[in-house]
Each structure stands twice: as structure tokens, then as C-alpha cells.
Amino acid sequence: MAWTMDQFERTVAAFPQRRAVSGQSAALTYAELNAAANAIADEILSNRPDGSEPIALMFNHDSPLLVAMLAVLKSGKFFSCLEPGYPSAQLEFMLEDLQTGLLLCDEANFKLATAIAADRCAVMAISLAAVASAPNIQRSVSDDDLFGVFYTSGSTGQPKGVMRIHQQLIDRIHKDTRLYRILPADCFSVITSASSGAAATDAMLALLNGASVAIYPTRQWGATRLADWLRAEAVTVLRPPVAFFRRFVDSLRPTDRFPHIRLITFTGEALLAKDIEAIRRIFELDCLVEHRLSTSETGLITRLLIDQHMPILWPTIPVGYAETGVEVLLLDESGQEVADDQDGEIVVRSQIPLPGYWRRPELTGSRFVPDAQQPGAILYRTGDLGWRDADGCLHHGGRKDQMVKIRGYRVEIAAIEDLLLHIPGVGEAAVVAHPVADGSKSLVAYLGTAQSAAPSIQEIRSRLAEKLPEFMIPTRFVFVASLPLLPNGKVDRRALPPPGNERPHLSTPHVAPRTLFEEKLAEIWAEVLGLDIIGVDDDFLELGGHSLAATQIVSRVQQTFDSALSMQSLFSAATVTEMASLLLDVLLDRTEQAEITDLLTEPGQL
């Protein structure tokens, strides 16, 4: 039997009555968890008696999911978790790609599982109430065998199944157990979906050390009930997504404290100095913070440990130093290493086998390359950017695929989001490049401000202008209560609402055109800026104006009024009212009085 299940069963023998897992539907001791997993493993083998193969799981974020995961491993097979919240088409694609013969589900998802499975595979619903006790199962599994296939969310295309082997899991558990001195008294929170792999790894880290796992119903409760839940479950190890953690902090009462929590781990998104400040304000002095860089393909790459006394010298927290057995390279486009203070793509050199993508040998071969310089090592290009500071600490610079061209300039979206998150009143930020009518792209910033007063667009633009060139400042700002999240806790950029053509929410009241002259100018502005209406006192920049739009407006004004108005005039007259005044002075020198009178007539009076 593989080390994972062998160790788990030894833990069961040592702590049979200790709590192993708690969720909304059930709390199980180690003995109860083991017995239920054995019984379900028997059912799996009665349907699928052959050797290693994938078994699909479709469960709510609750205790039965963990039972099913253990049952699959005990049966000598490997699992893949399908998140019920994903679109049906995505679930169907994953199930078809997995080529499994069996889909396990809970009763709540039986209807969905049956519809998704169709004629692809058999479906088996599990109820813990109906599970009988069964002895341990003896199956032979090697460390090179798979324990799971974890699908990416498909945010940049079709989902890809990432294979993980027992050796990767074993290596991670050994390292974290030693580093953090995991004890049976610990309780691990599981907040993110098991479909990402991180939740499964954390659960196994707890269960192989005699600790307990507490599964939080994230989709049902959101962040507002997390504080009471953490205290009720006496959680000691907290691993929240960064965006979710900020919502949690915003929901806290002034007196909220969490004396049990000794370790908080973050990965996946930028962690800011203000997040560390919040932790130091809320949690105990001995609480340790870990910031990680990891990928589904490689597992853990780097980590940085921060105690309550460590000086925070960066506005954005670095991701730390390479894990044992992993070397981090920073390469330019030609594959050459860059200097430590230069941006490069983060490339992982691993001595641990990395099996790659499920049923995609060509993609695996292109992304996981044998290292010519170190026989036996594998190179994996992460697609992430980074740079090192003087002492070798790695700083994460965002995804390469979030580099976009705006008006001919290369723009790093992560840099804009980072600056937005440092503006008081902005709790969450996501910047997206949206296509516009002329085929180019413009930047739209989505800002989550649920628990605080939203800053004005003028204030946001002013703060960004201190650090960014004009072409990197978003043209539109969309305020939302909170940003949509994927099950792994990252922002779901595809679910962000389109910016639409509505006038932005400005501090300036809307003032309609008072003359035919202002009405014609307002129509030109609105058409060029892609807005339904604008006010004559609205600021050009706050409406989303930029240098290219200014050129287009001036050109249209020159054609409409046969005027030699310069582009500089637009920037010195930043509203329709001011432009109308400047233009009127030009027209008075050469236009008949009757024409001027017509232009100054109220709209609709001619």
C-alpha cells in the first residue's frame, strides 16, 4: 500500500476517537472516517475491480467529500474533484476528458451528476447514514502512481487536468510537518474547493498527523460567518484565498480575536503590506504568516515566513525563497537568465518527478522539458513573471498572459491592480482589457468597496497618475460590492460584468446641455468615449478620456464647426462647458450673428 494510506491507518489506530473531520452534514472521528472510507472503497471495487484508474467526485464542500477522497485512495485508484458550481459545459468537458468509468456524488448533486454523466460513466450516490463498517483494504500502490488529477479553472481556455503522484504528496507532507511541527492538537481549515488540489493536500497533511480538518461552507456562508466558525472549530491553521481574507477582515467586529490560530498561509494572489498590518492587529503575537508561490503543475515553489516582529519593507509582499529540491530560474524571451533585479519568466527546475497533464502528452512535452544541464531534473515554465532582490528573495510580477497592448504600449495589469489595492477604500481590484469599437482595447478597473466609502474617480486617477503613465490608467472604473470568485478563491475575470455605456458614477452632478451648441459637443464626446450620455460639467479624464480620444474629439469638432481648435485646448478645457466657451470665442470672429444665435438656442427649440 502507498505510504499515504498506510500512514493514515496507523494514525487511525493511534487516535480512533479523536475528531478527524467536521462539516455541515457530519463530524467524524478517525475510526468513523476510516470505516466509512473502507465501506465506500468496497463499493468502488465491486464496480471497478481493476487497478489504478480515475474516479470522478462531485460533492458539496462538506465531510462526505473527504470520505470519498480517502475511499478512492484506499481502492488503489485516484480521484478528480468536479466542482458543482462550474458551468455544465465545463463539467461535461472535464468528465469526457477524464475518461472515467465511475462518478461518485452526494445525494444533493445526484441529479446534476446524472445529467453530466449521461452515457459517459456510471453514477453512484453516497450517503454516510447508509454506510456500514468495513475493514481496511489491502491494495498495492507505488509512490509513482497518481493520487489525483486536478483541473484548472479554464480561465484562459479549456480546462487542463494536472496529474499529481503520491511522491509529490509525500514530499510536501514531510516538509510541512517538520517546518510547522504539525501536532494532533492542530485543526486545519479547508476553505477553497478541493478541485484545485490545495484543499486535498492540506486535508491529507492534517489527517496523516492526527490533526483535524474543519470544512467551511464557503459558497453558502461567504466571509461574514467565518469569524464565529473559526472560534467554534478552534482552528489553528488558516489558509484563506487573499481576496476572501480581505472580505473576512472587513466583516470583523472591533473586539474579534482568534487565540487558537498560529499559522496563516496565503498563495495565488498578491499579498500586501496592509494585509500583514491587519493580521498583526487581529491575531496573536505568536501567529506566523506564510506567503507562497505554487502552481497546480509543480506544487510548492517558494515560501516566505513572516512573524509578528519582522519589518515589512515592501508594499507588496514577496513570495520568498525556493523550496528544498526546487530551483527557481528567471529567464528572458530567448531563454537566458536575467539579472536579479530584472523581470524574467519564473521557470522551475525540479528534482521531484512532475508527471504533467492528463492525456495531453504533446502539451506535457512542450511545458515540462528535461534539463540538459542537470540530468534527471525537469524544467517547467510557469508563465509567471518575477524578479529577485539583493538577498535572493523572489518577488512575483503577475502572469505573462496578463500583459496586454494598449495604444501600442505593453501594459502589466498586475502592476495596476497592485496600485489600486493600496488606495484607501479599495478592498478588491481587477483590471481587464476590454475591446472597443475601433478594434483596440481599453482598460476597465473593477473595484470592490463593500465595507467602506468608495473613493472618487478623481482621487483614484490622481493616485494612479503619481505612479503610472497615462496609457496605464484605466479609462473606466466600475464599482461593485464584491468581485466574483472562482472556487479556488481567485477572481473570476470572465464573470465580471461588461462596463456598458452608462455615464460613470462621478462626484459631479449630471448637468444636461443647455444650448444646441453644448448638445452637439456632448454628442461628439459621448460617441467617441462610448457613453450613452454625459454631463456638460463632467471632466474629460473622469469620463475615461485619454490622448487618443482627445485627438478624435478635436478632429470631430474641427469637421463639425470648421474650427482650428487645437488638441491642447481640450486639455485646458476639460468639460463640454469649457470647450463650448473656447470654441465660441473662435467662432465669433468669423461666423454670422444668426448662426451664433442658432447655436445658443436651447435644445429642441429650433
Residue 287 within any structural domain of the chain: no
CA dihedral sign of residues 28, 104, 52, 369: negative
Which residues does 231 contact at the CB level (< 8 Å), separation at least 6? Answer: 258, 260
12 and 61 inside one domain: yes
For residue 534, is it within any domain? Answer: yes
Based on the domain organization, do 38 and 123 belong to the same domain? yes
- 188 within domain boundaries: no
Among 12-16, 348-352, 547-551, which range has the highest average pLDDT? 12-16
Q: What is the mean pLDDT of the chain?
A: 88
Closest of 70, 107, 115, 71 to residue 91, by C-alpha: 115
Residue 287, C-alpha cell as written in the block? 501567529
User: For 224-232, what is the mean pLDDT?
Assistant: 95
Same domain assignment for residues 78 and 131: yes
Most confident of 277-286, 450-459, 491-500: 277-286
User: Quick check: 230 and 256 in contact, CB under 8 A?
Assistant: no
Q: Please report how many Cα atoms fall inside a 13 Å half-sphere around the Cα of residue 482, on the Cβ side.
A: 18
> What sign has the CA pseudo-torsion 401, 405, 410, 412?
negative
* DSSP, residue by residue, 435-495: E-TTS-EEEEEEEE-TTSPPPPHHHHHHHHHTTS-GGGS-SEEEEESS--B-TTSSB-GGG
Instruction: Identify whether residues 489 and 538 lie together within a single domain.
Output: no
Task: Return the axis-axis angle of helices 3-14 and 63-74, rounded to nearest 10°.
Answer: 120
Residue 571 covered by a domain? yes
pLDDT digits (tens, 9 = 90+) for 188-220: 999 988 887 889 999 999 999 999 999 999 988
pLDDT number for residue 133 = 74
What one-character-per-residue DSSP string does 95-159 give?
HHHHT-SEEEEEGGGHHHHHHHHTTSSEEEEE-GGGPPP---------TTSEEEEEE---TTSS-
Q: Give Cβ neighbours of residue 448 (< 8 Å, ≥ 6 apart).
A: 426, 427, 428, 429, 480, 481, 482, 483
Give the pLDDT of residue 31.
96
Q: How many CB atoms lie within 10 A of CB 378?
A: 20
Give the pLDDT of residue 593.
Answer: 57
**Domain of 480, in residue numbers:** 407-495
Higher confidence at residue 49 or residue 572? 49
Could you tell me which residue, 292 or 542, shows the higher pLDDT? 292
User: Residue 74 belongs to what H/E stretch?
Assistant: helix 63-74
* CB distance 239 to 264 below 8 Å: yes
Whether the pLDDT of residue 496 is over 60: the answer is yes
Checking if the pLDDT of 277 tops 80, the result is yes
Residue 309 lies in a domain: no
135 shares its domain with 76: yes
pLDDT of residue 467: 87
Number of domains in the chain: 3
Strands 237-238 and 263-267: what pairing?
Answer: parallel
**Do 93 and 18 lie in a common domain?**
yes
Question: Residue 57's domain is classified under what CATH number?
Answer: 3.40.50.12780
Assess whether pLDDT exceeds 80 at residue 565. Answer: no
Same domain, 442 and 537: no
- The verdict on 412 and 545 lying in the same domain is no
